[in-house]
Structure 1
């Protein structure tokens, strides 16, 4: 594997864009990073099945850093529902552990790409239709939030995203305002990313044919470059999120997810 300036430039640009979108949409940047890291690793000669797994794991590891920058920007604006973060976090850690240490290691990369495409496409549709929740609907109780957190953590571990593709629609469905939902999703990105990243290190230990400078399934060069750049633009995205109208924000969210779901569906088919 060769680290030409063009590769470093591509990873840096990916970090800048994903960091901005992480702050803007509360998706942790993973929806952007996974397809592109998959393509970069494949172009470097990594097996297609392995490149998808490493892209998911590396994306998740970068979100550990991006989420801190993004949540600080949202916290300054008082937009984060910390009560929801505290209630969802225990379930998130549980679900993340099951996904990253157990299920992730067993599934083929092409199967993970298919899961990515289906769930992202479904979430995009829910957002794009902009269905109004029942006025009487509210956030569930403590046990309901633990269960929801487990689902968010589990699905995030399978697709390498910060959980915004599940948590944002869930919170808006429960009548949490979109800007608060995006901000809270950004805060949830940290426990999601940390728990899953640790799991990917464990489950990837001893895997054959990993490229140089890998820590489990995590590709360290991409992690360092993307994380360094993404923390610069995440606050800019968070600032933009508070200036855009609600409907436009939902449409932007949905449009980005549709594009990436289509690409990963293609990757799933060609690498099966």
Structure 2
């Protein structure tokens, strides 16, 4: 048991450092990095395919709560957070995240792995070909469309273990918000997704066999502590690098990384 915990801890430190670096470098949050990285770490350590994607997603959601709170506080000091959007969208995002935690328990590990692979592949296309000046509207939608889109963001983000920044930033920039305000405000989506999402993964995975020794449901306690601490430590370095390297090159390098991740996950889902 001690050797197992030591191996898991070392692997998680490496995962957290990498996730923090990439998250700071590309400004999209660490979930899209942490989930596949932790998934492959659990595979190397011999954990069963039936639980490792669920554990990767659940643990990532818990980490996102901590990183999102820090990010929102930092952005709020610069007046970049649109709290009106957060107030109007949070209830629907929370509702979607709660449903996502329930749905994830019903999806086999292979299905969840394949879903993440497909979304990673679609995101890579956005990073390759997306343009920051694209617009669909001048204001954020309201009424039934807000309820539907907010619930969908919460549902998908909870299923995938990501903070909502990927979907939230894309939506807000397409609806007239500046990229700075979109990034700052979408960080608040991470709290609305992470809290109910992580709680759902804890509850639905409580009695599942084959989990790590420090797991609460599908959330690994040791993983949460190490990933959160490591990501906090390295993220500023990634942010600094982001200001020294060409943005177009960064986006395409990250897109290439997403393609490789997507292919690996889809192959795992297909072969499993």
TM-score, normalised with respect to structure 2:
0.87
Q: Do the aligned residues in 1 keep the contact of 2:135 with 2:173 (CA within 8 Å)?
A: no
1:185-236 CA-partner distances (Å, limit 9, x unpaired): 2221111111100110111121123231210011112111111222223455
Q: Do the aligned residues in 1 keep the contact of 2:92 with 2:154 (CA within 8 Å)?
A: yes
Q: Do the aligned residues in 1 keep the contact of 2:8 with 2:45 (CA within 8 Å)?
A: no
Q: Residue 6 and residue 193 in structure 1: after superposition, are their counterparts in 2 closer, same or farther (change >3 A)?
A: same
Could you say which residue in structure 2 is the equivalent of 1:139?
140
2 CA distance for matches of 1:140 and 1:256?
A: 32
Could you say which residue in structure 2 is the equivalent of 1:113?
113
Describe how 1:1-272 pairs up with structure 2 within 5 A.
2-3=3-4, 5=6, 7-101=8-102, 103-131=103-131, 132-134=133-135, 137-237=138-238, 250-251=251-252, 254-271=255-272
1 CA distance for matches of 2:269 and 2:170?
A: 25
For the residue of structure 2 that corresponds to 1:199, the secondary structure is: helix
1:145-174 CA-partner distances (Å, limit 9, x unpaired): 332221111001111111222122212211
1:98-127 CA-partner distances (Å, limit 9, x unpaired): 1102x1111111111111111222133134
2 CA distance for matches of 1:150 and 1:184?
A: 17
Q: Do the aligned residues in 2 keep the contact of 1:25 with 1:182 (CA within 8 Å)?
A: no
Q: Do the aligned residues in 1 keep the contact of 2:61 with 2:163 (CA within 8 Å)?
A: yes
Q: Do the aligned residues in 2 keep the contact of 1:93 with 1:192 (CA within 8 Å)?
A: yes
Unaligned stretches of 5+ in structure 2? none
Q: Do the aligned residues in 1 keep the contact of 2:202 with 2:219 (CA within 8 Å)?
A: yes
1:75-95 CA-partner distances (Å, limit 9, x unpaired): 333332222222221111100
For the residue of structure 1 that corresponds to 2:194, the secondary structure is: helix
Q: Do the aligned residues in 2 keep the contact of 1:70 with 1:234 (CA within 8 Å)?
A: no
Unaligned stretches of 5+ in structure 1? none
State the number of aligned residues.
Answer: 270
Report the alpha carbon displacement of residue 42 of structure 1 after superposing the two structures with TM. Answer: 1.7
RMSD (Å) for aligned C-alpha atoms: 2.6
2 CA distance for matches of 1:176 and 1:45?
A: 45
